Structures are given as structure tokens and as C-alpha cells.
Amino acid sequence: MGLDYLENCENTVYTRMSFETNGTVGRVTILLGDNDKTEQLQNANYYGTINSYAIQEGIGMEYASDVAGNIYTYITGNDVDDDKEYTIISTLDERHKTGDYQYYMYYDNGNLMAKPIIYSGDTAYVATCDRGTGYNTQKILDFTEYLDSPVYVASNEELLNKAMTNQE
């Protein structure tokens, strides 16, 4: 999951900050979204599964298979079978349709982090599939629990700091 689009973003970027205190401990929660991602989520298919291999053409199928295979290897530590094709089978929770924000932003030990906003209806699996079509999928790994894993946002830290300063 990359937030590189922020650096050259021509879209409207939404931020909302919530300041909380509990005695002497303070916390700021930052929500981040952009209008293009919001539009994509408003028009997404919420009534079926998304097959990352089957929705591609040509070289895109190979790339989708490589990404799915890399996820499988990263999580399990096992190599994939080079004679098979892989795909990501996912579903989207319909609550994404009404939200303007896609990420929680926060600082952890001085590093800016982004955590995707995930709902209970969001799922993701790595599956094997037929070469050339993406059909006849066989799920081999449920990685739904990893969907909300935070990522370090090094290249955009200065940009977000600037955006937050301009809101004052």
C-alpha cells in the first residue's frame, strides 16, 4: 500500500484531526483521504468478490500473480509453485462507500505511519487460479488479518506536516 500519490497529488486531500487528552497524556488522531480514492470506493463492487488476476489483461495478469505469490511467500515463508498462477480474492465492506477517509495517520517513535481503515466485511485471500482467465480459484491463504497493518510513510512526512501546519 503506497501513499506516493500524495507527493504529486492534484486531487483534494481530506484531513481531520482529533485531539484527545487523558490527564497529562495527549494524543492526536489524523484521518486522511483523497477525492479520487473516495470516488473509486463509491463506485466499487460491494456485492461480489474481486479477483486481481481476472480483472487484468496481458502483462497485468503476470504482475497480479507475482504480487499474490509474494504475499503468500512473505506471510508463510514458503515458496510458491512457479508452474501455477496466483490471485488475490477480496471483498469490500460497503461502509467504505460512505466514508471520505481511507487511512489513520499517527506518529510512532517519531515515524509517520499510515494504517488503512478496514471494516469487518473486508476480506483478502491468496488463491491459485487458471492461467489466462483467473477462474477456478482455490484459496490457499487468508490474509484478512494483515489488511490493517500500518506502513511507514517516509516520503510523505514533510508533505503531511506542511498540510497540518496550513490548517492552523
98 CB-near residues (< 8 Å, 6+ apart):
none
CA proximity to 100, closest of 165, 154, 36: 36
Instruction: Tell me the domain boundaries of the chain.
Output: 4-166
How far apart, in whole angstroms, are the C-alpha atoms of residue 135 and residue 144? Answer: 21
Residue 71 has which C-alpha cell? 504475499
82 CB-near residues (< 8 Å, 6+ apart):
none
3-class DSSP state of 93 = coil
Phi, psi of 47 (to 5 degrees): -120, 20
Angle at 7 between CA 67 and CA 44, to 5 degrees: 50
- Of residues 154 and 103, more confidence is placed in 103
pTM (predicted TM-score): 0.75
How confident is the model at residue 14, as a pLDDT? 80
Do residues 86 and 80 touch, judged by C-beta distance below 8 A?
A: yes
Do residues 2 and 37 touch, judged by C-beta distance below 8 A?
A: no
Q: Mean pLDDT lowest for which of 55-59, 79-83, 150-154?
A: 150-154
How confident is the model at residue 133, as a pLDDT? 94
